[in-house]
Amino acid sequence: MENISKTTNLNVRVDSTLKQESDMLFKDLGLNMSTAINMFLTKCVNTSSIPFEISEPKPSKTLKRALQEAEKIAKHPDKYKGYNNIDELFEALDSDD
């Protein structure tokens, strides 16, 4: 008796540009999207893992400084000048005070 595997549909939402670029890549590799996804899922199951490194991106030094500054402002808002709208900000920037 033949081993006929059952299939099921999988609906996934992806960015349209990512889908187009993936389609082109897989076509160049002689694959279609379904085959590529099946290969990925098979590799995950066979290795009991995601077949690539997943890590949290490290913030840049500039971002770290900005976050520290934002924390200071949030903890001590009375020490920092605030503005209700962009016009107030520009007025303050234009003044000599």
Range 52-75 average pLDDT: 92
What's the pLDDT tens digit per position in 54-64?
888 888 999 99
What's the pLDDT tens digit per position in 2-18?
566 789 999 999 999 99
The contacts of residue 23 (CB under 8 Å, 6+ apart) are: 33
Confidence of residue 88 (pLDDT cuts 50, 70, 90): very high
What's the pLDDT tens digit per position in 15-48?
999 999 999 999 999 999 999 999 999 999 999 9
Residue-level pLDDT at 11: 95
CB distance 50 to 44 below 8 Å: yes
